[in-house]
Each structure stands twice: as C-alpha cells, then as structure tokens.
Amino acid sequence: MKAIVFDTFGGTEVLHEAELEVPRPGPGQVRVRVKAVGVNPVDGKIRSGTMEAIFPTRLPAVPGGEIAGVVDAIGEGVTHLEVGDEVLGWSDTGSYAQYALASAAVLAPKPVGLDWTHAAALPVASDGAERVLDLLGITPGDTLLIHGASGALGTIAVQLAVARGARVIGTAGPSNQEYVTSLGATAIVYGDDLVERVRALAPDGVDAVFDAAGKGALEDSIALRGGTDRIVTTADFRAAELGVVFAEGPQRRSAARLAELARLAADGSLVTTVGAVHPLAEAAKAQQASDAGHNRGKIVLAVG
C-alpha cells in the first residue's frame, strides 16, 4: 500500500511516499480502507520532534491519527462491525496511508448524509473541544473567549460552547469574521489592543479562555482573567512557564459521542468546515498549511 512516512524528525521535507505492507488487524482491531484523513497541528509537531516528550515516536513512522473509511478486515473479538461498514474515528497505526488499523471500540458509523472529507474533520476536533470545555467547567451564562475560533478545533468548540449556554467571543483573522459570527460567536480580530477590545465587548469580564491558536495570546488571556485560572491552551508550549494549563491529557475517544455528533453534522445542526483537500501525495503541502496556521476549518487528505 502507499503511505506517507518520515524516517527522521524535521520539517515537511522529511515526509515522503513509501510502499508498505498492508497491515493485519489484531484482536479488537479492524483494518480500514482509508477514504479521508484529517490533518491536525499535532501531526506537524510530532513530525518535528517537539512532541517527543509527550508522544514518543518510533521511526520510521506514518503520521496522523484521524480517519474516515470503509472496514476492510476484522480482527478477533470484533462483533459489532462488519466488512463494508463506513466508519470514522481514530487510527492505531498512523492514517496517512491507503489502509490503517483502528481499535473497533473507537470507531463510529458514518451517517449517509456526511461525506468522507467532513467525516474526517470531526473526531479529533470534537474530542479536543469537549475535553477543554470540561476542563474549563463551561456552564450556562459563562462568557468564553476562544482564540483561533475559525480553525478546525475552534469551529467545533464555538458551537459546543454555545450549545452549553455560554456566550462566546472568538478571535480570528479579518477574512473569517463573518464565518465565526455564523457559528454563534461574537467575532473579533486578533492582534493589537486585544485586551481593551475584548473588555469593551464584555465589560463584566470573561469567565474562561480557550486558546486553540497558540499565537502568543496567553499574556492577553492572563490580563483578561486577572490570573491563570480557567485558561487552557492546546497549542502554546509556553503554558508551563506562564502557569497555564496545557491540555495534554489522553483523548477520550468516545465512539458513542462521536456517532451522536456525526449525526448532527450530517443533518446540518453541527457545522464541520473543510478548508482544503489535498491528495495523499501532497501530504507535505497539507502539513505546511497546517503548520502555518490561520486556516478556516480542517485540512483533509483524500485517499484513493
């Protein structure tokens, strides 16, 4: 099978196409014929080696952990999935490939009304968004500031926070203001004088901050909160030195919750935005765009 591999840590130039053996599912696993792959910022951080302390990587490695595809083979003990089932979820073996192994317990059925690229945009973003909203303890009436509200993670976080009854103020670039507003947030441009501009929108202050951008917004967040309480980042590695929580805990990977959100995405109740689609061979280009940030929605690799 064709796969994207890196043999050493570094920039996107270390990514290359390789021919690998098709993997065989073990107990509790299925093999998925991959249709689409979500490209996430963490993929680039693992590739560069900056996440080695958190996610030790055995080289050579296939990047990626988010898939949508068709069950192709079933391992021992799997009873609730069949060959031919269309699924989305998380892979065990890296997902930038024509085939990937996945634990059957973390795969959800793909609804008919959800296309492959939008299905691949959902697992990591929804899991990460809900994990951070729980860490922040978001409840009805809270005012939540989300940095990077137009990205894949921010897109889902805005909607889930609004569904919890929170008022959301979302930072994004000038071209994404209408998009963030359409998600249910009060949009604001990131950059100079952010503290003063947020205070003008929320005179009583913000109750919590979710930094999904990692673009140097933590100092402003601390100023707005008057301390580091109820600030969580998923993207800024300066968190520890500033006394801010970095959401590095294990993913929950709930297939049941993913199935529920996939149904909402299929009927249009939950927006999943795909910003760009690249063929598998252009994985380096896709990761370059992901590394650069400021993307609207999810970058996806189309496979096959």
Q: Where are the alpha helices (DSSP H) in 81-141?
A: 116-120, 123-136
Which phi and psi angles does 55 have, rounded to 5°? -125, 80
Whether 231 contacts 243, CB under 8 Å:
no
Backbone angles phi, psi at 287, to 5 degrees: -70, -35
**Confidence band for 26, pLDDT divided at 50, 70 and 90:** very high
> Which of 258, 252, 214, 226 shows the shortest CA–CA distance to 67?
258
pLDDT tens digits for range 173-198: 999 999 999 999 999 999 889 999 99
β-bridge pairing 231-233 and 208-211: parallel
Question: What local confidence, expressed as pLDDT, does residue 252 receive?
Answer: 77
Q: Are 127 and 66 in contact (CB under 8 A)?
A: no
pTM for this model (two decimals): 0.91
**pLDDT tens per residue, range 246-268:** 986 556 789 999 999 999 999 99
* Chain centroid, CA 167 distance in Å: 22
Tokens, residue 121: 């945009």
Instruction: Report the C-alpha gap between 246 and 242 in whole angstroms.
Output: 10
Share of residues in the chain with pLDDT > 70 (%): 98
Return the percentage of the chain with pLDDT > 90, whole number: 86
- Residue in the structure block whose two tokens are 């085939």: 99
Q: Give yes or no for a contact between 117 and 105, defined as CB atoms under 8 angstroms apart.
A: no
SS3 156: helix
pLDDT category of residue 304 using cuts at 50, 70 and 90: confident
Structure tokens at 275: 């910003």
Selection from 268, 267, 277, 282 nearest residue 297 by Cα: 277
Q: Mean pLDDT score of the chain, rounded to an integer?
A: 94
Orientation angle between helical segments 283-292 and 41-48, nearest 10 degrees = 100
d(CA 69, CA 57): 24
| H/E element, 199 | helix 194-201
Mean pLDDT across 192-221: 94
* DSSP for residue 190: -
Q: What is the pLDDT of residue 228?
A: 96
Q: What is the mean pLDDT of residues 103-119?
A: 97
